[in-house]
Amino acid sequence: MIIFIPGRGFDSNVYLIKGQKNTVIDTGSGFDTGYILDELKKNIDIHDIDQIILTHEHVDHTGGAEHLRKKLDDVKILAHEEVARVLEEGIEPSALLFSLPSPKVDVDIKLKDGDRVKIGDDTYIVLHTPGHSKGSICLYCDEKKTLFSGDTIFAYGGIGRYDLPGGDLMELQKSIQRLSELDVKNLYPGHGDFIREFGNHHVKLALRSVRYI
């Protein structure tokens, strides 16, 4: 079961996936953790949450990670190895650019492209999708045709910014091309609406968008 907690203001969306491995994907900036905790508590005993997965290093997705960890029991934080390097130093460039706090986050499990991770009741493959940031990942379940896309792509053909520190348009184009080769029914992005059943159409729109830049 996937539960959508829409981001408010600057914050990312947060997703709770319930099952054998109760998982939270992204945590917001930390400014609105009370709201996120309230939404989680409506759907689960928060002490039953097993892991938090961060889709990339930007503070609007990671700033709440340590806040949540303090409220949960034995929760593990997972992120790409590049994200881990940045967060463990406590110097996240986009946060500094916007004069926002850049909290240090200790990453327990460092992910790389091709890793397989249990999320809820399903197995997802980790796809390293740089372009929006160096450490961006997407999570794809072939069985359910489900993609958590972080800020690489959004609904309605939206694509991640590539003008922030660590962004790269050419890398973003390659990453979105890679996503377009998947069979996606359900698209869960880092901001804005999620899409069920027609995910492929929105991925193709994103590919078209990035090709015309």
Q: Where do the domains of the chain lie?
A: 2-211
Task: Give just the sign of the alpha carbon dihedral 129, 69, 10, 198.
Answer: positive
Domain 2-211 classified CATH 3.30.2010.10?
A: no
> Which region, left, alpha or beta, applies to residue 25 given φ > 0 means left and ψ of -120 to 50 means alpha?
beta
Q: pLDDT tens digits, residue range 164-211?
A: 889 999 999 999 999 999 999 999 999 999 999 999 999 999 999 999
End-to-end distance of the chain based on CA atoms, in angstroms? 37
Say if residues 111 and 79 touch (Cβ distance below 8 Å).
Answer: yes
Identify the residue whose tokens are 């990035």.
210
- How confident is the model over 90-99, as pLDDT tens digits? 777 676 666 6
Could you list the pLDDT tens digit for every one of the 213 residues in the chain?
Answer: 999 999 998 899 999 999 999 999 999 998 899 999 999 999 999 999 999 999 999 999 999 999 999 999 889 999 999 999 999 887 776 766 666 767 788 999 999 999 999 999 999 999 999 999 999 999 999 999 999 999 999 999 999 999 988 999 999 999 999 999 999 999 999 999 999 999 999 999 999 999 988
| Cα angle, residue 116 at apex, residues 115 and 117 outer, rounded to 5° | 120
pTM of the model: 0.95
Phi, psi angle pair for 152, to nearest 5°: -75, -50
Which tokens belong to 16? 């709770």
